[in-house]
C-alpha cells in the first residue's frame, strides 16, 4: 500500500473548505478505485490541513471534518505564521510515501493529482508541478512585476526558478526529506524546490480564479515575498553595493583630474546639494542592502521555531458553549 499525504495550507478559508473537501475526496476516491481495480497499486490518503491562524470558522470546519473522516488531520497555529511555515509544518507532519501540496481555494485543481501521480510513479520524475502559462485575472502591473521578478532572480542567482511555477507539487518522500533537511527560518519554497534538485515534470495550466472567499495576497505582500527570494538565493545585491562604491570613487577621481587639467571648476550651491543627496542616497541604499542580509542572519541565529502549534486533531479541546459556573 502506498500512502499519499495531501497538504493544504489554510488561512480564512471557511467558504472554500467545503468545496475543496468535496472535490479532493472525489478525486482521491476515484484514484483509489481506479488503481486498485487495475492492479497497479493500493492507495491510501491522509489529508493534512494547516490552519495558519485563521480568524473565521476555518478551525471549526476542520474539527468537524476530522470527526467525520479519520483521514483528515489538522494542525492549528497559535497565530498567523505565513504560508511558508504552513507548508513546512505539513511536510514535517506528513507520513506518506508521496506528498502533494495545494491550496484550499481550488486555484490548484485537485483533478491534476492523478496525472501528477502517474508522472512520479513512473520513476522518470521525482516531482510533478504546475506552471502557469497565463495570468488571466491579474492586473497588467502585477503581471509585469511578476515576470520581471523571475527574470531578475534567474539572472543573479545560481538557482533557476521556472517562470510561473506554483507551489502545487507532487513529490516523492526522498525529495520531501531533502527539503526538510534545510533548517533555515527565512524560507522561500520556490527556490528551495529548485535548489534541492531532483527531476521535475512541469504541467502547464491556465490561471484559475478562487472558488470562494477573498485572496489575502496583494502587491505589497508579493513584493516583500519577491525580496525574500532574492535575498535568500542571491548575494548579487551585495556586489551591486560594491560596484556602485567603485563607480563613484572613479567618478570623483575623474572630476578632480578634469578640474586640474582643463581648469573647469565645479561651482554652485545646487551642484553641491545634488552631489550630497546623490552620494548620501547611494550610501543609505548600500547600508539597507547590507542590513537585509544581517537581519536574515539575526533571525537564523535566534533559532526561534518557524511556527507554534496550538491544536491538532489529537489534542483538540472541547469548546465550551456556556461560561463555567460563577464566571462572567
pLDDT digits (tens, 9 = 90+) for 46-89: 999 999 989 989 999 999 999 999 999 999 999 888 888 899 99
Mean pLDDT of 245-265: 64
pLDDT number for residue 100: 94
pLDDT number for residue 47: 95
pLDDT number for residue 210: 54
pLDDT at 298 over 90: no
Look at residue 128 and give its three-state secondary structure.
Answer: strand
pLDDT at 279 over 80: no
Residues in a beta bridge with 77: 309
Mean pLDDT of 159-177: 85
pLDDT number for residue 313: 85
- Contact (Cβ atoms closer than 8 angstroms) between residue 154 and residue 80: no
Question: Among residues of the chain, what percentage have pLDDT more than 90?
Answer: 27
Question: Among residues of the chain, what percentage have pLDDT more than 70?
Answer: 66
Mean pLDDT of 265-291: 67
pLDDT interval class at 10 (50, 70, 90): very high
Mean pLDDT of 1-10: 91
Q: How far apart are CA 14 and CA 22, in angstroms?
A: 14
pLDDT at 319 over 60: no
Highest mean pLDDT among 75-79, 195-199, 251-255, 294-298: 75-79
Query: Which residue would you say has higher pLDDT here, 25 or 269?
Result: 25
pLDDT number for residue 123: 86
Long-range contacts of 245-248 (CB under 8 A, 24+ apart): 245/282, 245/286, 248/279, 248/282
Q: How far apart are CA 82 and CA 107, in angstroms?
A: 18
Amino acid at each position: 500500500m502506498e500512502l499519499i499525504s495531501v497538504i493544504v495550507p489554510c488561512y480564512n478559508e471557511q467558504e472554500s473548505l467545503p468545496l475543496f473537501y468535496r472535490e479532493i475526496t472525489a478525486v482521491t476516491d476515484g484514484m483509489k478505485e481506479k488503481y486498485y481495480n487495475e492492479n497497479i497499486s493500493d492507495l491510501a490518503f491522509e489529508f493534512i490541513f494547516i490552519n495558519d491562524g485563521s480568524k473565521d470558522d476555518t478551525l471549526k470546519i476542520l474539527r468537524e471534518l476530522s470527526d467525520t473522516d479519520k483521514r483528515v488531520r489538522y494542525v492549528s497555529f497559535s497565530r498567523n505564521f505565513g504560508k511558508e511555515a504552513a507548508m513546512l509544518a505539513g511536510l514535517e507532519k506528513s507520513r506518506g510515501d508521496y506528498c502533494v501540496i495545494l491550496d484550499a481555494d481550488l486555484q490548484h485543481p485537485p483533478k491534476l493529482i492523478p496525472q501528477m501521480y502517474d508522472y512520479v510513479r513512473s520513476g522518470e520524475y521525482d516531482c510533478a508541478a504546475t506552471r502557469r502559462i497565463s495570468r488571466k485575472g491579474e492586473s497588467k502591473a502585477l503581471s509585469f512585476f511578476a515576470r520581471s521578478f523571475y527574470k531578475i532572480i534567474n539572472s543573479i542567482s545560481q538557482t533557476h526558478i521556472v517562470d510561473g511555477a506554483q507551489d502545487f507539487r507532487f513529490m516523492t518522500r526522498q525529495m520531501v526529506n531533502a527539503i526538510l533537511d534545510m533548517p533555515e527560518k527565512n524560507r522561500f519554497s520556490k527556490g528551495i524546490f529548485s535548489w534541492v534538485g531532483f527531476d521535475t515534470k512541469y504541467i502547464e495550466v491556465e490561471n484559475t480564479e478562487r472558488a470562494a472567499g477573498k485572496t489575502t495576497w496583494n502587491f505589497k505582500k508579493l513584493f516583500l515575498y519577491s525580496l525574500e527570494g532574492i535575498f535568500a538565493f542571491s548575494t548579487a545585491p551585495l556586489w551591486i553595493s560594491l560596484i556602485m562604491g567603485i563607480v563613484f570613487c572613479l567618478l570623483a577621481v575623474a572630476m578632480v583630474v578634469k578640474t586640474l587639467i582643463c581648469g573647469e571648476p565645479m561651482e554652485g550651491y545646487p551642484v553641491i546639494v545634488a552631489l550630497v543627496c546623490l552620494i548620501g542616497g547611494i550610501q543609505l541604499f548600500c547600508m539597507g542592502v547590507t542590513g537585509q542580509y544581517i537581519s536574515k542572519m539575526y533571525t537564523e541565529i535566534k533559532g526561534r521555531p518557524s511556527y507554534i502549534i496550538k491544536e491538532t486533531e489529537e489534542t483538540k479541546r472541547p469548546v465550551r458553549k456556556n461560561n463555567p459556573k460563577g464566571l462572567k
